[in-house]
Amino acid sequence: MRRKNLNRIIRGFVLAAYFLCGVPVWAQTPSQPTTSTQAAPAPVLNAPFPVKEANPPSAEEMAKGDASGSLTGNVNDITVSNPKVGLTLADTLNQVGQNKVAINFVWTLITGFLVMFMQAGFAAVETGLCRAKNANHTMMMNFMVYGIGLFAYWVCGFALQMGGAAGVSSLGGAAPLSGEFALHIAGKTWGLWGTHGFFLTQGGTYDVAVMVLFLFEMVFMDTAATIVTGGCAERWKFAAFAVSSVFLAAITYPLFANWAWGGGWLSQLGANYGLGAGYADFAGSGVVHAVGGLSALAVAIIVGPRIGKYNRDGSSNAIPGHDITMVLIGCFILAFGWFGFNPGSTLGASGSLRIATIAVDTMLAGATGTFGAVFYMWIRYGKPDASMGGNGLLAGLVAITAPSGFVNTIGAAIIGLIAGVVVCLSVEYIDRVAHIDDPVGAISVHGTCGLWGVLSVGLFADGTGIGGVKGLFYGDAGQLVAQMIGVATLLGFVFTLSFVFNLLVDYFVGQRVSPQAELEGLDIPEMGALGYPEFVLKMQGPGMAAGTA
Amino acid sequence: MGGRKNFNYLETEMKFIGLLLAVCGWLLPVASLTWTSSLAARFIFALIGIALCLTGILGFLNRAYAKEAIWKK
């Protein structure tokens, strides 16, 4: 009896030893390579597929209705290319590919629609921060910039920006966008602008993927264009605004966007000069916001401050907006639209599940941006200022736009918090030191915080995000240098180009309204109708008696 | 009248210098890509470039416009 038990125990040990040692060895031993001839024969792509094995619901079952939702969408819904042969593997694979691209089309279009709705947010914020006597004028600039920008971008802006950006795999390639004008300097290629896509027909660009890309990129460009209207509000001539916006949409914005997103030289700094992954601007802190903010700075310098903004000794007067509720509702609309701006910049949901992190980064940075601005104002001035709270939210969102695809949530929170404080400091500097009148804080929110967002990629990118971009804090100083070259390009090229264009507009059209029109309010002189015709408005400005406008 | 002309001349010069500095601030770090392969040198050139741009825009160009600002008249 004891022997039997002992034998069992020994057998058990041997068996255990076999499994403990033998099985892992078996698992790690490379298996014999199997060739396709040894394995099951390769399926013939065009052979009929056994549809019945998929157990599709019968017509009778479908006729009863699908209350649970478990029957709708099955093998019967796959498009069959040849009804005589029936469903084939080729049909199934084509359907899989088309479904992937379709998901990405829908994602990109819907996020583009969200970004388009940001125009309403900008209109509300800017109008609310202006005086009631300029409400119609400010609202109309925000309204018209959409159509003006869209038209100019359709004519040539899109082609200059994306004409050489072929290879957008998430959207099926966008192959017709294959023309990039480039210079070859010191053995390197410097892409400068695209050459396909004028009027969305030239160069074979009458193409569905190109259309999706156009819609998405157009609403981004329009965001940049509408930023300028805020910085120059309450004294900008409507005709000058229209011409200036055409320049921005057709030339200034597309050139920089090509360099960053369209395969141009900035995006190639990594491949050509070993600077990280090249200039990285995921959703456009630089391309969209800094371009808009710096253009606003250029026009604001040319146009000059509003009458009554500064005293003769240089001290500034606060000119409060007329509707803070409109401002904060506009900020919420913008924050909502930003979920299109940043996650949508993946240009697809299928295969780009990073969209979840990007969305969370976006909301976090917006929140910490608000904290930063509100606490700064509270500590410095004793009250949590509402308009700066709104600007803090936007500053955080602007700053996270470039790094949202590359940073973790801690990085996003820090970037937003810094932006919230930076926007307050920048507003004070622009207003009191530089004596530049910016009624809505557009230069600080979009210009300064846009530049901070670009630099933050070079610091906080953790290497796990899109393209493996890694910043200084994660071991790649080259990325920071690439970002700094991007900042220098924004300041030195974009600002200068915008300034020169607007100088021409000033010469031929005139940028500023007459002092009489400015004091009266621009609604009647420029637009012919008041924004609030049944309200009694108080006239402001030196030498103006109180009365109705 | 002559004083006013000199004043305008100075402003125009300042504007031109401002724009020139901004453009140089951009071209310097870009050109340095071909001059050196040292990361530290490229970092310094980029830093100098940004400083030049800001000096040109805010220190010269904006000041030139501020000289003839509406609130000084």
CATH code where residue A116 lies: 1.10.3430.10
pLDDT at A8: 59
Residues A481, B42: C-beta atoms closer than 8 Å = yes
Split at pLDDT 50, 70, 90, the class of A9 is low
Report which residue type is found at A98.
Q
Residues A491, B23: C-beta atoms closer than 8 Å = no
A485 has a chain B CB within 8 A of its CB: yes
pTM above 0.95, yes or no: no
Q: Which of residues 520-539 of A touch B (CB under 8 A)?
A: none
Residues A185, B34: C-beta atoms closer than 8 Å = yes
CA of A355, closest CA in chain B: separation in Å? 32
Model ipTM over 0.90 = yes
pLDDT at A55: 85
- Asked if residue A139 belongs to a domain, the reply is yes
In percent, the amount of chain A with pLDDT more than 70 equals: 90
Average pLDDT in chain A: 91
Query: Cα torsion at A103, A107, A113, A115 (round to 10°)?
Result: -160
pLDDT at A543: 47
Pick from B50, B69, B70: CB nearest A488: B50
Pick from B25, B27, B65: CB nearest A304: B65
Range list of β-strands (E), A336-379 = none
pLDDT at B9: 75
A296 has a chain B CB within 8 A of its CB: no
Chain A CB contacts of B46 below 8 Å:
481, 484-485, 487-488
Split at pLDDT 50, 70, 90, the class of A535 is confident
Q: Which of residues 13-42 of B touch A (CB under 8 A)?
A: 19, 22-30, 33-34, 37, 39, 42
Tens of pLDDT along A480-520? 999 999 999 999 999 999 999 999 999 999 999 999 999 99
Which of A458, A383, A371 lies closest to A418, judged by CA?
A371
Tens of pLDDT along A175-229? 999 999 999 998 999 999 999 999 999 989 999 999 999 999 999 999 999 999 9
Contacts (Cβ under 8 Å, ≥6 apart) of A41: none
Tens of pLDDT along A365-421? 999 999 999 999 999 999 999 999 999 999 999 999 999 999 999 999 999 999 999
Which of A481, A474, A454 lies closest to B36, judged by CA?
A481
How many interchain CB pairs under 8 A, A with B?
96
Say which residue, A167 or A319, is predicted with more confidence: A319
Q: Which of residues 237-276 of A touch B (CB under 8 A)?
A: 269, 272-275
User: Which of B33, B34, B47 has the highest number of chain A CBs within 10 A, making it the mutation to test binding with A?
Assistant: B33
For residue A7, pLDDT over 60 is answered with no
DSSP code at position A283: S
Residues B72, A302: C-beta atoms closer than 8 Å = no
CA of A521, closest CA in chain B: separation in Å? 17
Residues B39, A478: C-beta atoms closer than 8 Å = yes
What is the number of structural domains in chain A? Answer: 1
CA of B22, closest CA in chain A: separation in Å? 5
B44 has a chain A CB within 8 A of its CB: no
**Cβ proximity of A243 and A211 under 8 Å:** no
pLDDT at A11: 55
Domain of A492?
A: 97-527
pLDDT at A235: 96
- Asked if residue A548 belongs to a domain, the reply is no
- Asked if residue A73 belongs to a domain, the reply is no
Residues B42, A435: C-beta atoms closer than 8 Å = no
Q: DSSP string covering A400-434, please?
A: HHTGGGT--HHHHHHHHHHHHHHHHHHHHIIIIIS
pLDDT at A26: 34
- Asked if residue A539 belongs to a domain, the reply is no
Please give the Cα distance from A465 to A405 (Å, whole number): 6
Residue whose pair of structure tokens reads 């000119």 in the numeric block: A319
Residues A241-269: what's their mean pLDDT?
Answer: 97
Say which residue, B7 or A119, is predicted with more confidence: A119
Report which residue type is found at A23.
V
Please state, in angstroms and as integers, the Cα–Cα distance from residue B60 to each residue in A354, A506, B65, following that order. Answer: 44, 20, 9
- Asked if residue A166 belongs to a domain, the reply is yes
Lowest mean pLDDT among A49-58, A136-145, A319-328, A408-417: A49-58
Which of A480, A497, A415, A407 lies closest to A450, judged by CA?
A415
Q: A434-451 b/e with 16+ CB inside 10 Å = b?
A: bbbbbbbbbbbbbbbbbb
A301 has a chain B CB within 8 A of its CB: yes
CA of B28, closest CA in chain A: separation in Å? 9
DSSP code at position A490: I
Pick from B37, B42, B61: CB nearest A301: B61
Chain B CB contacts of A275 below 8 Å:
42
For residue A47, pLDDT over 90 is answered with no
Say which residue, A266 or A29, is predicted with more confidence: A266
Instruction: Please count the CA atoms within 13 angstroms of the CA of A35 that sit on its side-chain side.
Output: 2
A190 has a chain B CB within 8 A of its CB: no
Which of A491, A492, A482 lies closest to A455, judged by CA?
A482
- List alpha helices for chain B, DSSP H: 2-35, 39-54, 62-67
Say which residue, A8 or A181, is predicted with more confidence: A181
pLDDT at A315: 93
